[in-house]
């Protein structure tokens, strides 16, 4: 019933409208809400940039970043529907496009599953959750140790540290034993109506889930390298160890706090300033590094994703 002529006409009109809205919204937020152009002007007046090799390397790492994520998606989906790596890339980039304009990046789920031809879309969304969870676990694990670095400077952190040391290992163990967890909760009465969907959580072995965690760690390492290179590019004067601690803590905060639409960009700036300002007063460089990381890793792939959304068969 979803392939009626009326539906096809609506989708045909909706796609270009959606793409236009995304484009205008992104540039409005960047230039009017977060004043990217003003930041660059102020930075150029008061600072010098580092080697352009830093920026070139950051952009080159973009392909590793989303290449790893695409391979994760392919690995997950192949359990139910064999797809090519290129199809995985299209799905992931489409997810990036829709995640830009949706709360907590929930559009990422919709963007990916529109490229599925066999697997139920709800199940596909739940499979996406498995991949995202691996990335969050890695982020919080490293974030815990980074926050330990700041525990003396930020006393409010200390009471939460023991809880983190308990919850993180439990989360990792629970993730690796996801099939065991599924078997013990699937038959709960209030899950009966969704049992046919959540069965996807019981389909992955410890080996596959370990591989997903490893890939998530590699992608996290790419993020770290990109951020550090941009800090160097914008000539923020800070030693490498506190710089890495600030980056990891910033990632941790971003993963914990909910975001709404492009407010995530503002959160990146605020959280980066909070930690980096303890070691450097170069606020323009700090903000530009945070925003540039978003533009490279989200805006550029999001623009490509618009094309793949437009080409999806209706």
Helices (H), the chain: 5-28, 36-46, 52-77, 85-99, 107-113, 121-149, 161-176, 178-185, 195-198, 206-233, 240-256, 263-276, 283-294, 300-311
Please report the pLDDT score of residue 7 as a whole number. 41
Please report the pLDDT score of residue 98 as a whole number. 84
Please report the pLDDT score of residue 184 as a whole number. 78
Rg of the chain over all Cα atoms, to the nearest angstrom: 21
Please report the pLDDT score of residue 10 as a whole number. 47
Please report the pLDDT score of residue 194 as a whole number. 79
Please report the pLDDT score of residue 266 as a whole number. 63
Rounded CA-CA distance 275/246 in Å is 5
Please report, for residues 23, 36, 240, the alpha-carbon distance to residue 17 in angstroms, rounded to integers and kept in the order given: 10, 25, 45
Cβ distance 243 to 228 under 8 Å?
yes
Please report the pLDDT score of residue 19 as a whole number. 66
Instruction: Kindly list the domain boundaries of the chain, sorted by start residue.
Output: 5-311
Stretches in the chain below the pLDDT threshold 50? 1-3, 7, 10-11, 261-263
Please report the pLDDT score of residue 262 as a whole number. 46
Task: Give pTM, 2 decimals.
Answer: 0.87
């Amino acid at each position: 019933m979803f392939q009626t002529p009326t539906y096809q006409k609506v989708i045909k009109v909706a796609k270009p409208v959606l793409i236009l809205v995304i484009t205008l919204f992104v540039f409005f937020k960047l230039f009017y809400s977060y004043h990217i152009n003003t930041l660059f002007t102020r930075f150029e007046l008061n600072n010098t940039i580092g080697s352009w090799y830093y920026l070139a390397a950051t952009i080159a790492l973009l392909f590793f970043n989303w290449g790893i994520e695409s391979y994760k998606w392919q690995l997950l989906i192949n359990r139910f529907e064999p797809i090519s790596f290129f199809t995985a890339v299209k799905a992931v980039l489409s997810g990036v496009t829709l995640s830009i304009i949706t709360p907590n990046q929930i559009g990422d789920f919709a963007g990916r599953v529109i490229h599925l031809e066999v697997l139920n879309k709800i199940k596909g969304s739940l499979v996406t959750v498995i991949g995202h969870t691996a990335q969050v676990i890695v982020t919080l694990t490293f974030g815990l140790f980074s926050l330990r670095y700041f525990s003396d400077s930020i006393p409010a952190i200390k009471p939460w540290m023991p809880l983190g040391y308990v919850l993180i290992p439990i989360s990792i163990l629970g993730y690796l034993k996801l099939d065991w967890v599924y078997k013990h909760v699937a038959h709960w009465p209030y899950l009966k109506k969704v049992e046919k969907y959540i069965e996807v959580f019981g389909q992955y072995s410890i080996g596959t889930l370990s591989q997903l965690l490893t890939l998530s760690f590699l992608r996290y390492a790419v993020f770290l390298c990109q951020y550090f290179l941009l800090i160097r590019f914008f000539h923020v004067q800070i030693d490498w160890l506190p710089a890495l601690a600030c980056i990891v803590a910033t990632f941790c905060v971003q993963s914990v706090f909910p975001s709404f639409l492009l407010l995530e960009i503002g959160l990146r700036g605020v959280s980066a300033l909070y930690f980096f300002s303890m070691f450097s007063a170069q606020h323009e460089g700090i903000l530009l590094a945070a925003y540039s990381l978003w533009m490279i890793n989200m805006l550029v792939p999001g623009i490509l994703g618009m094309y793949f959304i437009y080409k999806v068969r209706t």
